[in-house]
Structure 1
Amino acid sequence: MLVLGIVFLPWALFSSRGARMACKSFCAWTRFTARWMVGLRTEVRGPVPQGEVLIAAKHQSFLDIILIFGAVPAGKFIMKQELLYTPIIGQYAYRIGCVPVSRGKRGAAIARMLSDVEKGAADPGQLIIYPQGTRVAPGVKQGYKVGAALLYEQTGQPCVPAATNVGLFWPRKGILRKPGLAVVEFLPTIDPGLGRETFLIRLETEVEAASNALMREAGFDPKE
């Protein structure tokens, strides 16, 4: 990450495209080295979202960030404000158009994002949110927060749910990596127009069911 961050820095300083290419290069390198070093294969299933859509994804570890961003054409994340101060990650996240959100102030951040897009200050693309708000280990239950539903309602964009099993092989904490097949799966699109509560129930039901199926495929039986 450090080497690529330095190599791409001159281009990234003047162009969001340069920053995006740096991040995509890191994603490709990580997938290659994970397979080469520890036998961790990766796969992206389902139609890859294109155009301006909201992606609401299960979040188990840093690997699902890599797989989703590497797959979509112009991804940008709703992320915690404090990540902006992380070396390399913060600077590049800002350049590719990620939206930093202070805890308890999501509504203000979303309003600012919508205003930036309307004024042309932000590039169009795939806005990625983790509706559980943080990384959740396989088999652990955690509710879905209203932020994803609020974005879905305010943007009027279709939402593509995304399921995963990556936490079985690349844990949310620690440096241990395990061999196997880590998958991110893009699910059928949820069209605009649903009520906030209806959308959130459907999103959670579909993402959790698909993620549990992927984990069972990998030999782990999550408790329903």
Structure 2
Amino acid sequence: MIQYLRSLVFVLHIYVMMLVIGVVFAPYAIVSKNGARAACKTYSRYVFWSMRWMVGLKAEVRGEVPEGEVLIASKHQSFLDIMMIFTALPSAKFIMKRSILWTPIIGLYAKRLECVPVDRGKRGAAIAKMVRDVEAGRASPGQLIIYSQGTRVAPGTKAPYKVGTAVLYEQLGQPCVPVATNVGVFWPRTGIMRKPGTAIVEFLPALEEGLDRDTFLSRLEDTVEERSDALMREGGFEPNGVH
């Protein structure tokens, strides 16, 4: 009960701080995408700091963090892995649902960070436009993040890896860095409870460009799932459902 109450206070206060930081940085973000990036990283680091002492949860990033133009294909378990990946990378941008653009505060920052909004069934056209914009200098290069399972997946739950990641990998012609995580063990995709421990995001060795679609998807899924299972066991959760 005490941990639940601490979690409740933590959750409420980080949403208040999202509004506060979003409004304070808004003028800077409107005139500069560096301002938008600074706001999002400031907020994320505030969350990491506050969750340590409020609910006993630490954030740890492992592996070699890429700095050049690469595709990031990550496992997605909760809002926490979004913040950890974004803060670790120098110039991150996400593929996201277009409806997010109309969300107060978040929509503004998503636009300024040059995230790639997509409509259902039209991802290919959106990515092609992004590639053209980067080549023409209308958009800045960076690390493009996609969640290969398409949604948040709870620890111990299996979900297929969608072919869209392979299509994007082919279109971009860039290496792909897989990312594993165990954050859902401590910060679930739904609910209030936040558990003490160490939430980990790990950047894994890159998959080279030029792989055929089936080989790429198979290697990506095997790599991310195997390492994520190991991280979840490290966090005290057995992926097969036995704690």
| TM-score interval, smaller chain | over 0.9
Between Structure 1 and Structure 2, whose CA radius of gyration is higher? 2
- 1:102-158 per-residue CA deviation (whole Å, 9 max, x = no partner) reads 111111111121121122111111100001000000011000011111111111111
| Equivalent in the alignment of 1:180 | 197
* Alignment partner of 2:226 out of 200, 209, 215: 209
Distance 1:83 1:189 in 2: 29
Distance 1:86 1:212 in 2: 33
Q: How many residues align?
A: 224
| Equivalent in the alignment of 1:221 | 238
Distance 1:220 1:89 in 2: 32
| Equivalent in the alignment of 1:197 | 214
**CA positional deviation for 1:174:** 1.8
Map 1:1-224 onto structure 2 (within 5 A): 1-223=18-240
Structure in which a larger fraction of residues adopt helix: 2
Residue range with higher mean Cα deviation, 117-126 or 45-54: 117-126
Matched-pair contact (CA < 8 Å) for 2:124–2:168: no
Give the partner amino acid of 1:75: A
- 1:40-66 per-residue CA deviation (whole Å, 9 max, x = no partner) reads 011000011111111000000000000
Q: Secondary structure, in 3 states, of the residue corresponding to 2:60?
A: strand
What root-mean-square deviation, in Å, do the aligned CA atoms of Structure 1 and Structure 2 show?
A: 1.0
Distance 2:95 2:70 in 1: 13
- 1:173-194 per-residue CA deviation (whole Å, 9 max, x = no partner) reads 1222111110000001111110
Residue range with higher mean Cα deviation, 181-190 or 171-180: 171-180
Q: Secondary structure, in 3 states, of the residue corresponding to 1:77?
A: strand
Q: Secondary structure, in 3 states, of the residue corresponding to 1:8?
A: helix
Give the partner amino acid of 2:177: V
Identity of aligned pairs, percent? 67
Q: Which runs of 5+ in 1 are unaligned?
A: none
**CA positional deviation for 1:101:** 1.0
